[in-house]
Every structure is written in structure tokens, then in C-alpha cells.
């Protein structure tokens, strides 16, 4: 069966892409990492106005949006606010109300717990979170807080897969963003009187990234349709590997300058590095796929 996005889904992606393209997202990320959340909250408010927060019951549309959010490296507790919180029956996100959720052991820390309404899912119990120490992350825009369960607020079914699915889409988007930047760079940088992108070795590197991303995207879309644990984990593994390949290739063609704080590409590189081990490790997700196949 051939899976393709509908015209409406493509229009949704285009709307989110247009909004984010008109925003200096690296500047928003810099402000967010420094503790100035005003630009980020303003951006999330604009996303809410175009309906991004109303997609909790539409997983395919949700992954379409998260791919664009990843493509532009938007910071903040996006998965928690747009996907996990609605599934738990918690408050949705608007311009002044973010939600962050810790789901130990695979999501042990709460993102931006000092600016968002924080919760902890302990088994099937949903509790208010009591924030603790601020921890460092390889991605400076990921502000992680230790949390412990506080007041009980309700019960909920397992929502880990909803977060993993959106993270897989976000990783595909990050890979796309890195490929876009690398492709643009090699067309304008010149060596030996030719654009770097004309060299066969460079073409092969970027073509491998494109193939990996194009294989990962339909897995993410299929997992959104089926909702099966095996499909979600398989999509996450493929998406994380593709994004990591994109990060390596983008860094290779840019050189060391791409990893410096002065270069905006570093936001994409560091976010891939951080998300590749978030919401469960690659090993854990591969084990889930293998266990599912053995039980058939």
C-alpha cells in the first residue's frame, strides 16, 4: 500500500513551515537557553493560533507538524505540551501556558519545569511535579530539571509511545534541516574554481542522507496510522539514525565552524545529539522491536 499525505496535510505542513521561516528561530533558541522565554512563548502562541495545539486526536497531522518543528529546531517542551499533556487530559498549550511531563525511567527529567506546568507520571498515576535542580544538557536549549512526584491529580494509560512518535518526526525534521543547510552551503562554497557540491564524494554523502531520511519518513507516518508499539519504536530507530547521519554529513561539509556557537547550525547538531538518547535509547527501542517480532 502506498502512503501519501493528503492535500490538507501538505497545506498544514506548508503553513507551519511558512510561519517558522518568517521567524529567527536560532535567536529564539539563544534566548530560551539564556532563560528569556518571551520570544519562545510568542512563537508558540502563533503556532497555537494556526491550530497546532488541536491535533491531539490526529496523529498523522501531529507528526507532520513535528517534522516541521524539528526542521526549524524550535526549542521548548513541544512533545510534552502538544502530544503527551492532551493524552493525559492535562491543560493544552497556549501562549502563556506550557506543560512538561516526566515519565520515568525513560524520560526521567522534566523539560523547562521552571516555566511550564510540570507533572510526573508514576506508573498509572499522574502527579504534580516538585522541581529540583537544573541539569545541563548537550543541547543548551534543553533545560532539564530533576523532579519528584507531588500531589496526585489523576490516572492515565501509558502515553510513552505518543511522545516517542512525535520525537521520531522531530528527528526526521532535524535531519531535513541539516540537509537543507548542507546542500545550500556546498552550492555556494567554491574550491579549485568549482562549487564544492559538484564533487562526487560530497554528492554521495548528501545522497546517503536523503535516502536515509526518505526511508525513515514513511515509517513515522505508518506508525502514526497503526499506533503499534513495534512500529513506533522502529520509526524512532530509523529516524534517529537518519538524523545522526545528517548531522555527521552536515558537519563534514561545513568543517569545525559548523559546531561553534557562532554558527546557527550548531543548534541542529546539538539537538540531534540530545534527542537521539531521549525518550528511550536506541538499544531499548531495538529490543522492543525484536521482542515484538519474536512474540508473533
pLDDT by position in tens, the chain (length 296): 456 788 999 999 999 999 999 999 999 999 999 889 999 999 988 998 888 888 988 999 999 999 999 999 999 999 999 999 988 888 644 434 789 999 999 999 999 998 899 999 988 899 999 999 999 899 999 999 999 999 998 888 889 999 999 999 999 999 999 999 988 887 776 666 666 655 667 778 889 999 999 999 999 999 999 999 999 999 999 999 999 999 999 988 877 666 667 778 889 999 999 999 899 999 999 999 999 888 77
The answer regarding whether domain 160-294 maps to CATH 1.20.140.10 reads yes
* DSSP class of 137: -
What would the DSSP string read from start to end of 180-212? HHHHHHHHH-EETTEEGGGSHHHHHHHHHHHHH
The helix (run of H) or strand (run of E) holding residue 286 is: helix 282-294
Neighbours of 187 (CB within 10 A): 12
Distance CA 29, CA 19 (A): 16
Q: How many CB atoms lie within 10 A of CB 204?
A: 11
Euclidean distance between the first and final Cα of the chain, in Å?
22
Return the SS3 of 118: strand
Between CA 59 and CA 92 the distance in angstroms is 16
Measured in degrees and rounded to the nearest 5, phi and psi for residue 78 equal -70, -50
For the whole model, what pTM was predicted?
0.93
**pLDDT at residue 1, rounded to an integer:** 45
140: CB partners within 8 A, 6+ apart: 33, 270
Amino acid at each position: 500500500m502506498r502512503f501519501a499525505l493528503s492535500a490538507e496535510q501538505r497545506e498544514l505542513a506548508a503553513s507551519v513551515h511558512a510561519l517558522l521561516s518568517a521567524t529567527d528561530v536560532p535567536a529564539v533558541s539563544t534566548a530560551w537557553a539564556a532563560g528569556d522565554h518571551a520570544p519562545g512563548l510568542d512563537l508558540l502562541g502563533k503556532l497555537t493560533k494556526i491550530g497546532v495545539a488541536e491535533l491531539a486526536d490526529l496523529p498523522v497531522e501531529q507528526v507532520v507538524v513535528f517534522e516541521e518543528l524539528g526542521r526549524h529546531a524550535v526549542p521548548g517542551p513541544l512533545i510534552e505540551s502538544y502530544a503527551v499533556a492532551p493524552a493525559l487530559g492535562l491543560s493544552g498549550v497556549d501562549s502563556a501556558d506550557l506543560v512538561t511531563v516526566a515519565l520515568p525511567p525513560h524520560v526521567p527529567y522534566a523539560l523547562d519545569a521552571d516555566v511550564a506546568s510540570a507533572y510526573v507520571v508514576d506508573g498509572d498515576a499522574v502527579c504534580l511535579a516538585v522541581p529540583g535542580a537544573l541539569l545541563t544538557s548537550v543541547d543548551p536549549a534543553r533545560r532539564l530539571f530533576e523532579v519528584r512526584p507531588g500531589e496526585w491529580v489523576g490516572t492515565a494509560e501509558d502515553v510513552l509511545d505518543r511522545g516517542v512518535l512525535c520525537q521520531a518526526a522531530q528527528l526526521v525534521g532535524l535531519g531535513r534541516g541539516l540537509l537543507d543547510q548542507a546542500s545550500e552551503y556546498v552550492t555556494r562554497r567554491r574550491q579549485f574554481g568549482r562549487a564544492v557540491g559538484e564533487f562526487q564524494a560530497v554528492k554521495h554523502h548528501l545522497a546517503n542522507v536523503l535516502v536515509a531520511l526518505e526511508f525513515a519518513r514513511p515509517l513515522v507516518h505508518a506508525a502514526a496510522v497503526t499506533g503499534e508499539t513495534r512500529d513506533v519504536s522502529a520509526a524512532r530507530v530509523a529516524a534517529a539514525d537518519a538524523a545522526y547521519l545528517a548531522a555527521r554529513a552536515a558537519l563534514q561539509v561545513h568543517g569545525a565552524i559548523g559546531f561553534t556557537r557562532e554558527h546557527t547550525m550548531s543548534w541542529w547538531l546539538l539537538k540531534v545529539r540530545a534527542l537521539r538518547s531521549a525518550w528511550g535509547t536506541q538499544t531499548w527501542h531495538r529490543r522492543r522491536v525484536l521482542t515484538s517480532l519474536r512474540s508473533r
